[in-house]
A = this chain, B = another copy of it.
């Protein structure tokens, strides 16, 4: 039951050689979610051998081109590949019109249902839920309406102690109830408190993504204590003024947010095209590490496992 993130693009608006703009894949128990979809995302999926048809839910943080220009290409290719299954897109209002206009121009009638879920400006709340996870959106502070997203595993079932099962032989129905946290009364009428007959459930992992945002402590309640926070870091501190003008963050600011939100791990990316060299990225890490040790650097093709498959 793995939980991993694979970076498809770690650049900000302008692509540079070997660094695509924003897109990444969240794999939760082999269910794949696509987050942002810059130009070239489908080529990156080919490069990193991720099957296009495995996506059913695509999330677009905001309507700057480096986060959505690749969506129309992916939608078109899925059509050409004969897709029949529904595809859901969660995005700010306006994207549906952009996609529809392009499909109309090419006289393409999609062979699969494409459903847009508009996320209103400043919305916070659950946008997707299934049996194992919830996905919540929350507002970021950028030049146009922008949302961050949190992926949370739902609480997992408790594990029953073997000696209890051996001694009291509960039936299947009781076992399921105990796993969900219920106490147990045995045949002699004795009460067994759940906490005494079970172990704590396995950890429920959580992941938060803050695509494009100025340093903003208002997001802390949303992302508090997540296992992994992917926070943009477009600039180094030498360009702090540029970052503020453009409502972006520096590596240090991302790390301060991570520290204040007590997250377990920080990943930074969305680097400006001005930082081209390996050495520049070392500086991102150094600046972030001084506020949040062991910050990870996004890199196209990198996979981070929050939880390994087992």
Contacts and interface: CB of A to CB of B under 8 A. Distances in A.
A30 to B, nearest CB: 23
A13 B77 contact: yes
A42 interface: yes
Given A13-B76, A46-B15, A70-B39, A65 B101 contact: no
B101 A95 contact: no
A82 to B, nearest CB: 11
A125 to B, nearest CB: 23
A15 to B, nearest CB: 6
Contacts of A70: 39
B98 A65 contact: no
A64 interface: yes
A69 interface: yes
Nearest to A104: B94
A127 interface: no
A34 to B, nearest CB: 16
A102 B80 CA distance: 24
Contacts of A76: 13, 65-66, 69
B94 A105 contact: yes
A98 B69 CA distance: 12
Contacts of A47: 17
A152 B261 CA distance: 64
A80 B39 contact: no
A220 interface: no
B105 A98 contact: yes
A163 interface: no
A131 to B, nearest CB: 33
Closest CB pairs A-B (n = 3):
A39-B73, A63-B105, A94-B105
5 contacts: A13-B76, A15-B42, A15-B43, A15-B46, A40-B43
